[in-house]
Amino acid sequence: MTSPTAPTPPSRKAGCSDGSTPIPLVDYRAQVPVSVDQSLCIEGCNLCVQVCPLDALAIDPETNKAYMHVDECWYCGPCADRCPTGAVTVNIPYLVR
Ligand code: SF4
Ligand code: SF4
């Protein structure tokens, strides 16, 4: 007896009935809400971590630099405002701008 197999997903290239080139589907998150330029982040500083009301930022114990450790954000901005080197970028989504 053979085991059941999952159905084959439809081809991503197929589908545009008008013959135009299909837009590729996005199946991953390219960005977190807040990105930290590791080359600009000062080791040992944690100002952005302190001012975030959501505790969304943390210091990586291996690099001693800040990064976003949860995928949640209020887009309020003090993390970027307080960063002395401009390392923090808040990627405000189009629908919130
Ligand atoms: S924008 Fe606000 S909620 Fe988001 S990481 Fe910065 S301080 Fe935290
Ligand atoms: S405020 Fe800027 S320099 Fe300080 S930890 Fe955050 S990203 Fe790094």
CB 52 near ligand 2, within 6 Å:
no
Query: Which of 46, 76, 97 to mutate to test ligand 1, by most ligand atoms within 8 A of the CB atom?
Result: 76
Pairing mode, if any, of strands 88-90 and 34-36?
antiparallel
Atom of ligand 2 nearest to the CA of 36: 7
Of 17-26, 46-55, 68-77, 84-93, which range is least confident?
17-26
Q: What is the pLDDT of residues 3-57, one digit of tens each?
A: 455 555 444 444 556 777 776 665 544 468 899 999 999 999 999 999 999 999 9
Count of beta carbons in the 10 Å neighbourhood of residue 60: 13
Q: Are 41 and 85 in contact (CB under 8 A)?
A: yes
What is the C-alpha separation between 37 and 66, in angstroms, rounded? Answer: 9
CATH of the domain at 73: 3.30.70.20
- Residue span of the structural domain in which 47 resides: 34-96
- Rounded to a whole number, what is the largest CA-CA distance in the chain? 66
Arithmetic mean of pLDDT, 85-89? 96
Does residue 67 register a pLDDT over 70? yes
Work out how many domains the chain is built from and give that number.
1
Query: Which of 70, 74, 91, 97 to mutate to test ligand 1, by most ligand atoms within 8 A of the CB atom?
Result: 74
Regarding pTM above 0.75, the answer is no
